[in-house]
Chain A
Amino acid sequence: MNRAAAEAVIIRVVALIASMALFGAFVALAGADPLDVFYQMYRGSFGTSFSVQNTLLRAAPLMLTALCTAIPARLGLMVIGGEGAMVMGGLAAITCGLACSAMSPWIVTVAMALAGFAVGGCWIGLSGALRAYRGVNETISSLLFNYIAIALLSYFVEGPMRDPTSLNKPSTRAIPAADMLQSIPGLEVHWGLVFGLVACVVAHVLMMRSVFGFGAAIAGGNLRAGMLCGLPVRRMMIIAAVLGGGAAGLAGMAEVAAVHGRANGSLVTGYGYTGILVAFMAQHEPLAIIPVALLFGGIGASNGLLQRVDHLPDATVAVLQGILFVVILASETLYGRFAIFRPREERAVRSAVAGAAPEAT
């Protein structure tokens, strides 16, 4: 492992420990025993085979929604519209699934996935295009798109697409059980997890090993330099936004096709917002998203036990996520502060400079 990677991992782990310490102090103030809270969190996330599967189920959409922030971030775009793209992807998937329910289940699944990807991609792609061609800030526009997506969802679910038999909770009609996304053989976890893993690997190859990814890194590091190199920066921005949005749309499709079988208010899960946190903690590196998503899936999975055993409110996990988010971002300031992580050559130069001019800081 090279020094830069070691620095990244160690700073993240230190931030994680610091966050857990802060969280422990917080739950202690709230009257719970921090050690028991940590034990329940372990039990609820990775302690039993049931909780591991619960963790995997939650990690799958997080991988996909994290990509929605991580891929555009390589180009310097800060997209926080994963929630909306997921909702729109789910809505498109159910529309498509209901429309082609006469066909074989394989075709239905593929069509639903494509529809989810395409609509989620267009949703965030629009945000990217507005940024590229109109200079509209993508952070704010993608966030507004979240609220618009949720309004569209409630319109379609309560209006034109409503299943008349869904009384208490307005929903669309359900796709037939045969068309649902199945579990991975031997696990109680649906194929959405494979979508997430494959998407992260593909994104890694694209962003870290391809010409496109190299160009994206140049433009993301210095936009003007990218333009001066003749890179089609605007088009690249839109492509990155489409790919990210498509990933989140796929998460919505998996949620509809594997979990609910229909679209309703449950599609607004909050995975989109947690995905932002996952992407930042993974430093927008697609492969690093996988372990981080597992970690946050585990935190989410432990929520039930925290409520039942420690009698903490359901917002406890939200507090932990908030603390983690703030501490991890604040820990960015630690980069480059420790001489041990610098490349050997640079350290040699620095000590020579320091020796020559002791008053320099």
Chain B
Amino acid sequence: MTDPALDVTGIGVWGVPLAVASGAVRIGTPFLFVSLGECLTEKSGRVNLGLEGTLVMGAMSAYAVSYYSGSAWLGVLVAGLVGAVLGSLHGWLCSLPRVNDVAIGIALISFGTGLAFFLGKPFIQPSAQKLPAIDLGFWSSSPEVRSALQINALFVVGLILAPAIAFLLARTRWGLVLRTVGESSDAARSMGYRVNTVRAIATTCGGFLAGVAGSFLSLFYPGSWNERLSSGQGLMAVALVIFAQWNPVRCLWAALLFGASSALGPALQSVGVSSGYQLFNAVPYVLTLGIMVATSSASRRLPGQPAELTVAR
């Protein structure tokens, strides 16, 4: 499994930190979008584990739309809309009494990935229009550095989106309603807000962002559609949001950290570490687990944690 984008053998051992840094941005971008979506959903007091399915579905639909229309950005938009539909499905199902949001999330992982694999069969071979990259490495003569500094416009969007969502949550009326619903559904209900509607809207928006994250996977990096495209990013986002303490700006840093840890294995492999790299593939998961062990507590609520949230308990 040699990875052309992370192939840094030309500049020796210095390739490892370079590959890790570029991987942080490249691999971190989908983490960023999913975690922002999950953050928004969880702030309303509900958890959507189904974002993993949403991500795969978004990746497939983005690739298909880009293949047929020739416009990658249209693919991104459609992926977001498909994600929003799956998100609203989650939101609606969880509005029914007695329906558990965690279980429905697991079901939607199964449904989303199954549907994506079914519909995506014809798109495994053909090559679709990819998202353009912003070339930040123009100053360098080294092709390795140039390819490592290809930044996608979606990352820039994410950079703007993280503080924007933080502002939305902290400083606007909408954000206040959302947080009220997440902190105490009784209080929100007594103020006349419809709890289930607010949560459904938050889940729908979260689904949109997860769909966009999927489109990044299939249209930029790794940049193709196949059934092994997602490796649990949608689920790790849930842990990532806990790590980021439900703060969108911290989600940005957490996503970069996760991206960097995911890039470590392939980077070492490309400089000739041939044994044990399989273990490095587990680094993001071990890191997630370590973070959860370090930050969770059996006896108290975490700072920033919405009180209505069940999954962090």
Chain A residues engaging chain B, CB cutoff 8 angstroms: 30, 78, 80, 130, 132-137, 139-141, 143-145, 147-148, 151-152, 154-155, 158-159, 273, 276-277, 280, 313-323, 325-326, 328-330, 332-333, 335-336
Contact = CB atoms under 8 A, between A and B. Distances in A.
A147 B284 CA distance: 10
Nearest to A273: B110
Contacts of B275: 159
| Residue among A158, A323, A329 having the largest count of chain B Cβ atoms under 10 Å | A329
B312 A326 contact: no
Interface stretch (B70-78, B171-179, B250-258, B294-302): B294-302
Interface stretch (B114-122, B138-146, B188-196, B199-207): B114-122
A319 B53 CA distance: 12
A180 to B, nearest CB: 27
A133 B296 CA distance: 10
A277 B99 contact: no
B156 interface: no
Given A140-B239, A148-B282, A330-B104, A318 B117 contact: yes
B276 A155 contact: yes
Interface string B261-297: 0000000000000011011011001101100110011
Contact of A147 (B104, B107, B231): B231
Contact of A135 (B239, B289, B297): B297
Given A140-B292, A333-B99, A154 B278 contact: yes
B298 A133 contact: yes
Interface of B is mostly: helix
Interface stretch (B90-98, B129-137, B215-223): B90-98
A335 B96 CA distance: 11
Given A78-B103, A151-B278, A144 B98 contact: no
Given A147-B232, A159-B278, A318-B117, 8 more contacts: A135-B299, A137-B296, A147-B285, A151-B281, A158-B278, A273-B110, A313-B121, A315-B118
A69 B161 CA distance: 38
Contacts of B297: 134-135
B111 interface: yes
Contact of A319 (B100, B115, B242): B115
A315 B298 contact: no
Contacts of B128: none
Interface residues of B, number: 50
Contact of A141 (B98, B281, B289, B298): B289
5 contacts: A141-B289, A315-B114, A320-B114, A329-B104, A330-B96
Given A136-B296, A323-B111, A144 B96 contact: no
Given A130-B293, A151-B281, A318 B104 contact: no
Interface in B21-62: 49, 53
Chain B CB within 10 Å, residue with most, of A133, A145, A330? A330
B99 A330 contact: yes
A161 to B, nearest CB: 12
Contacts of B121: 313, 315
B112 interface: yes
B136 to A, nearest CB: 32
Contacts of B117: 313-315, 318
B296 A134 contact: yes
Contacts of A314: 117
B102 interface: yes
Contact of B99 (A147, A316, A329): A329
B108 interface: yes
B282 A151 contact: yes
Nearest to A27: B118
Contacts of A147: 231-232, 282, 285
Contacts of A326: 89, 93, 104, 107-108, 110-111
Contacts of B312: 137
A43 B117 CA distance: 24
Given A151-B281, A151-B282, A132 B298 contact: yes
B238 interface: yes
Contacts of B279: 151-152, 155
A318 B102 CA distance: 20
B129 to A, nearest CB: 24
A37 B135 CA distance: 51
Given A313-B118, A318-B118, A140 B278 contact: no
B282 A333 contact: no
B118 A134 contact: no
A361 B288 CA distance: 47
B229 interface: no
A141 B289 CA distance: 6
Contacts of B108: 322, 326
Contacts of A137: 242, 292, 296, 311-313
Contacts of A277: 107, 110
Contacts of B162: none
B235 interface: yes
Shortest 10 CB-CB contacts between residues of A and residues of B: A322-B111, A318-B114, A315-B117, A151-B282, A135-B298, A325-B107, A333-B96, A155-B278, A322-B114, A315-B118
A361 to B, nearest CB: 13
A329 B93 contact: yes
Contacts of B298: 132-135
B239 A144 contact: yes
A154 B231 CA distance: 15
Interface in B229-247: 231-232, 235-236, 238-239, 242
